[in-house]
Amino acid sequence: MSVDVIPWAQRPDARLILVLSSERSGSTLLRYTLGAHSRLVSPSEMFLMRYPDYDAWRTRKSVAIDSLLEFFDMVGHPKSTEELDSIFATREIADVYRMLFDFLPERGILVDKTPAYANEISTLDRSRPLMPYYIWLIRHPLGVIDSHLRIKDREKQERAAEGSLPRRLLSPFTGVIRRLNGSREALARKREAKWVQQNQNIRRFLETVPHDQQVSLYFEDLVIGPEEIVPALCKMMGLEIEPGLLQFQGSRPSMNPHLGDPNFHTHKQIDSTPAYDWAERMREDWLMPHTKQLMKELDVRFLPEEAARQRTTA
């Protein structure tokens, strides 16, 4: 970086950080960690950028009103849903963001982490005029797939437990039945394809964004070495390093599963176990060749013995 470039967070128009990732990549953890910084306001998933205007967002993603209400609570201007509708109705989405910036404290920055932004490049393009800083959070695809499958298994079990007596009796075996009929494999492949698509979209988009407006971050590094990674991230953005950033204390709220990680409140601290615990259940050689190719291009770390095999087959 040249010496006369002002770091992003020190510019007067620095108002928005977008966290881009595939779902299940640790984005709630990152949002929560960043939210401990005195300049950052970091509500649950907002989904705003996916829609051209406020009215489309309200109609097509009604659950996300909770995130907007949370934002206003956080900045000390609590509002009702009716008030929000009357303030923002008919506004284009970029204007909605600009109006939100006006409610931030002096030098405040909104952190908007919504993994679904990576689904379409048009969503990412919509963010451009707001000059955000982009944090690209990358997790090993098997970590993402494993997390996704565990959530789906649990949802099925919960549904079966709530259902009729025959379904309840079958519920302990539904995982096995699905494994036998192959639908679990199909679910995993679908999730793999989504990981590829989303990360390709992010990469294509960020290729067009100035370097001093973006950083990429690996989930595994974040959870294994948060003491180095979080201050380094702040430094990259031009944010002051604050002592309280890694104090992961107190009880965390349980998330609305539509707006963040439903298991987030179960973690007592930043935990390194999820970095590679998928390796007990899954193997990298299961991944499609094009997924492994993208992993290499994105510098996603393979497990050591798999890395050696990848080198010999490359």
Burial 210-222 (b: 16+ CB within 10 A, else e): eebebbebbbbeb
Contact call for residue 26 and ligand A3P (CB under 6 A) = yes
Contact call for residue 142 and ligand A3P (CB under 6 A) = no
x-marked contacts with ligand A3P along 226-245 as a string, rule CB under 6 A: --------------------
x-marked contacts with ligand A3P along 150-169 as a string, rule CB under 6 A: x-------------------
- Sign of the CA dihedral 215, 299, 126, 192? negative
Query: Within positions 6 to 25, which residues make up the interface with ligand A3P, using CB under 6 A?
Result: 23-25
Contact call for residue 267 and ligand A3P (CB under 6 A) = yes
Contact call for residue 33 and ligand A3P (CB under 6 A) = no
Q: Using CB under 6 A, which of the segments 86-94, 229-237, 265-273, 301-309 binds ligand A3P?
A: 265-273
Q: Using CB under 6 A, which of the segments 27-35, 52-60, 70-78, 205-213 binds ligand A3P?
A: 27-35
CA atoms of 271 and 248, how far apart (whole Å): 10
Interface residue with ligand A3P among 110, 274, 284, 294 (CB under 6 A) is 274
Is the distance from CB of 141 to CB of 287 less than 8 angstroms? yes
Query: Within positions 210 to 229, which residues make up the interface with ligand A3P, using CB under 6 A?
Result: 223
Residue with smaller CB distance to ligand A3P, 23 or 112: 23
Interface residue with ligand A3P among 18, 20, 27, 178 (CB under 6 A) is 27
Residue with smaller CB distance to ligand A3P, 128 or 154: 154
CA atoms of 200 and 270, how far apart (whole Å): 28
CA atoms of 35 and 242, how far apart (whole Å): 12
Interface residue with ligand A3P among 16, 229, 270, 294 (CB under 6 A) is 270
Q: Using CB under 6 A, which of the segments 54-62, 66-74, 127-135, 264-272 binds ligand A3P?
A: 264-272
Is the distance from CB of 114 to CB of 261 less than 8 angstroms? no
The number of residues that bind ligand A3P (CB under 6 A) is 18
Q: What is the dihedral of CA 144, 195, 154, 45, to 10 degrees?
A: 90
CA atoms of 36 and 38, how far apart (whole Å): 6
Q: Which residues contact 157 (CB under 8 A, 6 or more apart)?
A: 171, 174, 175
Contact call for residue 112 and ligand A3P (CB under 6 A) = no
- Sign of the CA dihedral 281, 284, 285, 286? positive
CA atoms of 18 and 116, how far apart (whole Å): 12
Interface residue with ligand A3P among 70, 192, 261, 284 (CB under 6 A) is 261
Q: What is the dihedral of CA 281, 265, 101, 14, to 10 degrees?
A: -50
Q: Which residues bind ligand A3P (CB under 6 A)?
A: 23-29, 147, 150, 223, 260-261, 263-264, 267, 270-271, 274
